[in-house]
């Protein structure tokens, strides 16, 4: 499964941070796909740290903050619940992570699960489920996407392992793969039967 830009169709993970309850030092753990972050800032909270702001800037459209305009009992909780409802209507397959120490969210999470909507509450970004990607599965998924692209008419089929690696890195350029991640995709291509490499030469079965 892949989009027009060659990206993987991963389940979107929406991270909704109750900034009155939890103030992460940075968003480094969730800066990459498939995370989307919304930070809910209380009316009396005047400042966000430099690291948080720089993370939001790096994430571009995948991160935003919502500043409450007034105070009130559970005002921030209601905002988070509203956004989850709105986002769930747009993308019912998404996973919603509420980052808060407030146990008042737990009945909402139970209700979401009853509606077959993925949701969890964590007291820190690092404690979120699924925050650690599975490198092996990611390589297998990317190899499948790239391998299927080789079946397309006029697809480029690099003839050496080095040019193949460069081609894979370019194909997934928005993911900014490391050399190790590219090498894992090359290995997975062979394991899945799309190509074989002997003495640096690549032959294809597609």
72-100 pLDDT per residue, tens: 878 999 999 999 999 999 998 899 999 99
Chain Cα centroid distance, residue 140: 17
pLDDT for the residue 22 = 95
CA–CA dist 204, 197 (Å, integer)? 9
Task: Provide the pLDDT confidence category of residue 32 given band limits of 50, 70 and 90.
Answer: confident
Q: Do the beta carbons of residue 204 and residue 151 sit within 8 Å? A: no
DSSP 39: E
Phi, psi of 77, deg, nearest 5: -60, -40
- pLDDT, position 31: 85
Instruction: Return the structure tokens found at 55.
Output: 């993370």
Mean pLDDT lowest among 84-88, 99-103, 154-158, 161-165: 154-158
Fold for domain 13-127?
Rossmann fold (3.40.50)
Q: Give the residue among 23, 30, 204, 7 at the shortest CA–CA distance from 132.
A: 30
Summarize the confidence of residues 9-18 as an average pLDDT.
Answer: 86
pLDDT of residue 98: 98
Position 181 pLDDT exceeds 80: yes
Backbone phi, then psi, for 141, in 5-degree steps? -65, -45
CA distance 177 to 168: 9
Is residue 30 a contact partner of residue 47, using CB atoms and an 8 Å limit? no
- pLDDT band for position 4 (50/70/90)? very low
pLDDT at residue 5 tops 50 = no
pLDDT at 72: 80
Mean local confidence (pLDDT), 183-205: 94
- What pLDDT digit, counting tens, does each position of 123-144 carry? 999 888 865 566 787 888 889 8
| DSSP per-residue letters across 21-68 | T---S--GGGSSTTEEEEEEE-TT-----HHHHHHHHHHGGGEEEEE-
Q: How far is CA 68 from the centre of its chain?
A: 26
Q: Strand 35-41 vs strand 13-18: parallel, antiparallel, or unpaired?
A: parallel
């Amino acid at each position: 499964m892949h989009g027009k830009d060659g990206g993987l169709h991963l389940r979107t993970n929406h991270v909704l941070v109750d900034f009155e309850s939890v103030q992460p030092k940075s968003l480094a753990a969730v800066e990459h796909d498939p995370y989307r972050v919304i930070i809910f800032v209380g009316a009396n909270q005047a400042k966000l740290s430099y690291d948080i702001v720089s993370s939001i800037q790096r994430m571009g459209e995948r991160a935003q903050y919502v500043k409450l305009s007034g105070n009130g009992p559970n005002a921030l909780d209601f905002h988070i619940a509203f956004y989850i409802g709105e986002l769930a209507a747009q993308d019912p397959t998404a996973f919603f992570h509420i980052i808060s120490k407030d146990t008042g969210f737990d009945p909402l999470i139970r209700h979401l699960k009853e509606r077959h909507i993925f949701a969890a509450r964590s007291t820190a970004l690092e404690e979120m489920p699924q925050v650690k990607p599975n490198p092996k599965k990611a390589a297998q998924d990317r190899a499948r996407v790239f391998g299927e692209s080789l079946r397309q008419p006029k697809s480029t089929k690099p003839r050496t392992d080095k040019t193949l690696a460069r081609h894979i890195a370019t194909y997934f350029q928005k993911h900014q793969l490391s050399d190790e991640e590219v090498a894992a995709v090359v290995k997975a291509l062979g394991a899945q039967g799309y190509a074989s490499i002997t003495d640096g030469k690549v032959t294809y079965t597609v």
